[in-house]
Structure formats: C-alpha cells, structure tokens
Amino acid sequence: MFVYTFNRLLALIPTLLAASILVFLFIHLIPGDPASILLGDTATPEEIAELTRAMGLDKPLWTQYFIWLSNVVQGDLGTSVFFREPVLAVIASGAETSILLACMTMMWIIVLGIPIGILAATRHGTWADQLASGGAMLFASVPTFWLGLYLILIFAVGLGWFPSSGFPSITDEGGVFNLRYLMLPSLTLAAPNAALIIRLVRASMLDVAREDHVRTARAKGLHPARVAIKHIFRNALIAVAAAFGFTFAALVSEAVVTETVFSLPGIGRLVVQSILRRDYPVIQGVILIIVIFYMLINLLVDLAYARLDPRVSLS
C-alpha cells in the first residue's frame, strides 16, 4: 500500500504540470490585461506599457510560464498583482473560511445523506421512503444560488436565527460560535450533495439487499437492523465511498457560487475576483492548490475503497 501511495503521489507531478499549462493558456485567452485594469480608465498607453514591462507581461508566453514554473518549484507562487502580497499569503487568508466551510459541508453530507439514505432503503416503498426520495430529488435539482437566497430569506431575514453574510475568524471575538456564520452556506452547499448521497445509499442498499449473502445473514437469525447495517449498508458503502471523490469536485465549483452569495472571504470568491482583476499569479496559485487537494482526496477515496472491499488489490 505504501508503494501504491508513493506512486500515486509521484503521479501528481505530471498532472500538476498539465493543469498549470492549461490554466496558463486559458487565462491569457481572456481579453484585457492586468496593467490596464490596475491603472484604471485614466491611464495613458505609455503608463500601461511601462507597468506591463515592469510585471514581465511583455515577454513571450512560454518565457512567462517558465519563469513562473521555476519560481513555483522553489516554493514561490509569486506576488498578487492586486494585493501586492505573496500569493501564498493571499490564499492562506481565504483558506480558513474555505476549509471550515468544506468540513461543515462534509459533516452535513454525511449526517444527512447516510442516515436518511438508510432510512429510505430500509423503509422501502413506505411514505418515509417517498418523502426522503422526493426530497432528495427536489434538493438535487435546486440550483445552489437559489437555495442560498431562500435560506437567507427564511432563516436570516425572516427568523433571524443565523447571520446572512460574512465570516469573522474563529480566532476573533465569538470564537467557535462564529461557525454559525457558516451554517446557512454549509447547508446550501451540502443540500444537492447530500441529496445525491441519499439517492446513492438508497439505491445501493436496495441492490445489495437482493444479494444472496443477505439471505444467508437473515438465515442466521440476526436482527433486521443488524442485517441492514452490518450486511447491507456495509457493502453498499463501497459504491458510496467512490462517490465522495466526485462530490468533492462538485463542491469546489459550487463553493464559488455559495461564497459569492453569502459574501464569504473564502478561496472560491477569491478565484472569481482574481479572474475579474486579471490577477494571474493568484488564479494560477489557487488552481494549483485545488488540483493538489482534488488529487489527494481521490487518493484517499481509492485507499478507503481498498479498505472497504477486500477484493480490490492496490498492488
């Protein structure tokens, strides 16, 4: 397993190279350049040309790429054009919000998705199943921004239970209670993904329930709840674990929308704003970090998969 993990980590390198080249090419396709955006409408062509030269943007694209790459290899992701701070520091400032948001979202996905999925499968065909399946269908179809706005309308504006926007750090006054700022955003983000997990848990469990070994388990005289959890859900978990890899990919893009709707100072909103500001170093840096995270999460999913299913061999 260590050899497998090492090889997978090694495979990160070519993937990161490919991703960085693609991103580099794509952001230079967007019309407009950072110099004119930074200097504003009143800038003269001479001023723009001078700033362009100063930022090295007049050099050929491939030269720019290799300068950036050689800096990255040395641990330097560059300096933000807009903030005039190192890119790593800019990303770190948004990381707390995004990581806490991701953790809370994952918690909701697990806490809501798995028990409701199990309930729907074990109460298959009853009103509880129809309610769970119907609800899951509804939340899987609702767009994130719409759900976010309605949650704000009901729980922030109407009932006043949770704040509607922003997120003071948990190291600020209020401490961990500041997590209530992330309540509505995390629910918004979790809803479509939890709905997916509900449907997946239900469908996988109904599939497994028809397998012969479940009949063997029942023939042992086990309690139906034990059969449902130890024999049906445990085997259905193999398919569900694989889905968590995809869920993470969906979370990244949905987080961009959610952080914007709730004005959260996270990495998702940072990407959108950096694209609008043509802040090339920040965009490059964030994407690099997201790709690394994505690949690590998928490595974890594959390792979990092998642990869940003894028939899967990693060597």
Partner 1 sequence: MALLEVRDLEVGVAIGGKVLPVVQGISFDVEENQTLGIVGESGCGKSLTSLAIMGLLEGSMLRLTGGSISFNGQDLLALSPRARRAIMGDQMAMIFQEPMTSLNPVYRIGDQIIESLRQHRSMSQRQARARAIELLDLVRIPDPERRVDSYPHQLSGGQRQRVMIAMALACGPKLLIADEPTTALDVTVQKEVLDLMLDLQKRTGTAIILISHDLGVISETCDKVVVMYRGKIVESAKTATLFSNMSHPYTQGLLASIPVVDHDVEWLNAIPGRVPLIDEVLPGCAFHPRCSFAQASCATSPPSADYVSDDHLVRCHFPNDRPSGGEAGGDA
Cα 26 to Cα 280: distance, rounded to the nearest angstrom: 11
Structural tokens at position 149? 């706005």
Q: Which is nearer to partner 1, 206 or 250 (CB)?
A: 206
Cα 161 to Cα 288: distance, rounded to the nearest angstrom: 37
Cα 240 to Cα 68: distance, rounded to the nearest angstrom: 39
Cα 37 to Cα 270: distance, rounded to the nearest angstrom: 17
Structural tokens at position 140? 């899987």
Q: Which is nearer to partner 1, 8 or 124 (CB)?
A: 124
Structural tokens at position 274? 């950096």
**In the bound complex, what is the minimum distance in angstroms from residue 126's beta carbon to partner 1?**
13
Structural tokens at position 208? 């497994």
**In the bound complex, what is the minimum distance in angstroms from residue 299's beta carbon to partner 1?**
21
DSSP single-letter state for residue 264: -
Count of residues interacting with partner 1 (CB under 8 A): 21
The reply to whether 309 sits near partner 1 by the rule CB under 8 A is: yes
Q: Are 64 and 74 in contact (CB under 8 A)?
A: no
For residue 233, CA distances in Å to 71, 205, 309, 310 come to 48, 6, 13, 16
Helix (H) or strand (E) holding 198: helix 183-209
Structural tokens at position 83? 């903030």
Kindly report the number of other CB atoms within 10 A of residue 227's CB atom: 19
**In the bound complex, what is the minimum distance in angstroms from residue 237's beta carbon to partner 1?**
9
Q: Which is nearer to partner 1, 232 or 252 (CB)?
A: 232
- CA neighbours within 13 Å on the CB side: how many for 205? 27
Q: Are 217 and 248 in contact (CB under 8 A)?
A: no
**In the bound complex, what is the minimum distance in angstroms from residue 208's beta carbon to partner 1?**
10
- Residues numbered 123 to 182 that lie near partner 1 (CB under 8 A) are none
Q: Which is nearer to partner 1, 180 or 307 (CB)?
A: 307
**In the bound complex, what is the minimum distance in angstroms from residue 106's beta carbon to partner 1?**
24
Among 10, 160, 310, 315, binds partner 1 (CB under 8 A): 310
**Which span (9-17, 239-247, 276-284, 304-312) binds partner 1, by CB under 8 A?**
304-312
The reply to whether 311 sits near partner 1 by the rule CB under 8 A is: yes
**Which span (65-73, 100-108, 192-200, 303-311) binds partner 1, by CB under 8 A?**
303-311
* Amino acid occupying residue 62: W
Q: Which is nearer to partner 1, 231 or 269 (CB)?
A: 231
Q: Which is nearer to partner 1, 53 or 234 (CB)?
A: 234
Q: Which is nearer to partner 1, 10 or 219 (CB)?
A: 219
**In the bound complex, what is the minimum distance in angstroms from residue 2's beta carbon to partner 1?**
22
Q: Would you give the binding string for partner 1 spanning residues 207-246, x where CB under 8 A is met?
A: --x-xxx-xxxxxxxxx-------x--xx--x--------
Residues in touch with partner 1 (CB under 8 A): 209, 211-213, 215-223, 231, 234-235, 238, 308-311
